A and B are shown apart, each in its own frame.
Chain A
Amino acid sequence: MEPEPDLAWMYRQMLRIREFEERVKATFTEHPGVIRGHTHLADGAEASITGSLAALRLSPGPGDQVMATYRCHGYPLVLGTDPKAMMAEIYGRAAGLCGGYGGSMHLADPDRGFLGTSGIVGQGIPQATGVAYAAQIRGQGQVVLCFFGDGAAKQGAFAEALNVASLWKLPIVYVLENNSYNVVTRVEQEDANAAAGDTCSRWSRVRCLRASTWCRSGRLTCAGPGTT
């Protein structure tokens, strides 16, 4: 039987993500230069992040790992990373999560399975696949969750990664966070399948949760293109 999701916990996590990012956004606009370069917010993705990671929480495995999209603040918040350390990192402080080396776009918390991020759209897909390969070699039952958006799925490496993951039966769940926009371009304009009428269903937190939980319960025999 599918375990019951803790909806109150999930709501709390979504709220924490939004509040955290509202603070980042306010600092970015009110105090130019304090947050250097640029920052990527994830308004509207709170549910897909929380729902997917709730699956890890429901059936935690040994050393499961998560690769984020380039809109990366939400994932470590849900995984339990200290928000103060995250904010200090975004400010480039020595007390930051990565000692000021990473900033907003390169948050990493390996102790909690948060592999790290990049500002490059879709870059994490082949890397997460490599991490899953390492997990398979270690043979300790680790699972990798790889997040990316509908725009990132247009990266050539996406098809290559899914192909090899399926062939080698790697312990990885690819989570496509389809928000219907490739930055500012509608999915119908950037996705051939969507343009042909085969519209990807929009995510919901419960659907994400079920897909991830299902993969977990099958110990990832289902990992492969089209199953998540």
Chain B
Amino acid sequence: MPFGQADVRRAGDDVTIVATGAMVGRALAAADALAASGVSAEVIDPRTLVPLDMATILASVAKTGRLVLVDQATRHASASAVIAAEVADQGFSYLRAPIKQVTALDATVPYSKPMEDYILPDEPKILAAALSVTGAGAGRGEGAE
């Protein structure tokens, strides 16, 4: 596997979804659901965070104008927060909507299955975040918070 070279797992035009680790599969599933709603999502797996392939991510955001980040980690000091900051820094003019982060809640992972599911990113949360910036739910405050 090449270091510092992101993998574009699915091509799309309306929204860029950058997902890491185990979240890639959930992002791809969400992209399928988005396609059913008429939204074309591009899914990128950075594969390595250091070095981070910002060129691929920026090129995608330049095309779609929208960015959703999916990270299993808690939001504070997460890879997702770093990528969001880099895109805001280097690709601000590309953005047509706010960057959305879908991360675990800032909490310890609980033992109980329903509570664990509650705090981790899943397909409906990714879907809601993508729709909130692509039109179907845009402007109605249906973010991934």
Contacts and interface: CB of A to CB of B under 8 A. Distances in A.
Interface stretch (A76-84, A100-108, A141-149): A100-108
A219 B110 CA distance: 39
Interface in B68-126: 108, 110-113, 115
A73 to B, nearest CB: 15
A44 to B, nearest CB: 26
Interface string A127-139: 0000000000000
> Which residue, B108, B112, B113, has most C-beta atoms of chain A within 10 A?
B112
A102 B116 CA distance: 11
Interface in B57-74: none
Q: How large is the interface on B (under 10, 10 to 19, 20 to 34, 35 or more residues)?
A: under 10
Contacts of B110: 100-101
Contact of B115 (A37, A100, A106): A100
Interface string A19-49: 0000000000000000011000000000000
A213 B108 CA distance: 38
A106 B112 CA distance: 12
A36 B108 CA distance: 16
Nearest to A89: B111
A49 to B, nearest CB: 23
B129 to A, nearest CB: 26
Most A C-beta atoms less than 10 A away, residue of B108, B110, B111, B115: B111
Contacts of B111: 36-37, 92, 100-103, 105-106
Nearest to B111: A103
A137 to B, nearest CB: 27
A92 B108 contact: no
A86 to B, nearest CB: 13
Nearest to B109: A101
A101 B108 contact: yes
A106 B108 CA distance: 12
Nearest to A103: B111
A100 B110 CA distance: 7
A102 B108 CA distance: 10
Contacts of A37: 111
Contacts of A205: none
A193 B111 CA distance: 39
A100 to B, nearest CB: 3
Contacts of A106: 111
A102 B113 CA distance: 11
Nearest to A104: B111
Lowest 8 A-B CB distances belong to which pairs?
Answer: A103-B111, A100-B112, A92-B112, A101-B110, A92-B111, A102-B111, A101-B111, A100-B115
Interface of B: 108, 110-113, 115
Given A100-B110, A100-B115, A105-B111, 19 more contacts: A36-B111, A36-B113, A37-B111, A92-B111, A92-B112, A92-B113, A93-B112, A94-B112, A100-B111, A100-B112, A101-B108, A101-B110, A101-B111, A101-B112, A101-B115, A102-B111, A103-B111, A103-B112, A106-B111
9 contacts: A92-B111, A92-B112, A92-B113, A93-B112, A100-B110, A101-B108, A101-B110, A101-B112, A102-B111
